Amino acid sequence: MDLELSGGDFLTGENGRPESVSGKEELFQRATIRLTVPLGSFSCDPSLGSRLHTLKSGTPFPDEKAFSMAQEALRGMPQLTVTGAAVSQADPPTVTVTLNYGGESREVEVKL
């Protein structure tokens, strides 16, 4: 069981205490953390994170590279499957990673 995150902070209930998250929601939250944290930036575990933030405008085959980088970041979570990745050239550029767990899909957006 983890504490639920929302907007980079703990989600609190009406009593002001942090809410908890478990099951598939916890799994998707952990995947979101791994995808959005730049690889090597978490001092307690330098292997946690992804290289998605290294994608630059003009990178050849950006969707394929994002897909591979997402799989790499989630290698330690075999229950999840990366089913897609799409790079958007919006401002700011984003990568949308589609995940599947037990027949349920979720999209995680990573700002570059």
Q: CB of 110 within 8 A of CB of 53?
A: yes
| 48-104 pLDDT tens trace | 999 999 998 888 999 999 999 999 999 999 999 999 999 998 888 999 999 999 999
Under the banding of pLDDT at 50, 70 and 90, the label for residue 22 is confident
Q: Tell me which residue of 73, 67, 32 sits closest to 51, measured CA to CA.
A: 73
Residue 9, pLDDT > 80, answer no
What b/e readout covers 34-68, taking b as 16+ CB neighbours within 10 angstroms?
bbbbebeeeeeeeebbbbbbebeeeeeebeebbbe
Cβ distance 10 to 81 under 8 Å? no
* CA-to-CA separations, 106 to 31, 53, 84, in angstroms, rounded: 10, 20, 10
**Domains, the chain, ordered by start:** 1-109 (3.10.450.40)
Is residue 21 pLDDT above 80, yes or no? no
- How many angstroms separate the CA atoms of 64 and 70, rounded? 10
**pLDDT per residue over 33-44, tens digit each?**
999 999 999 888
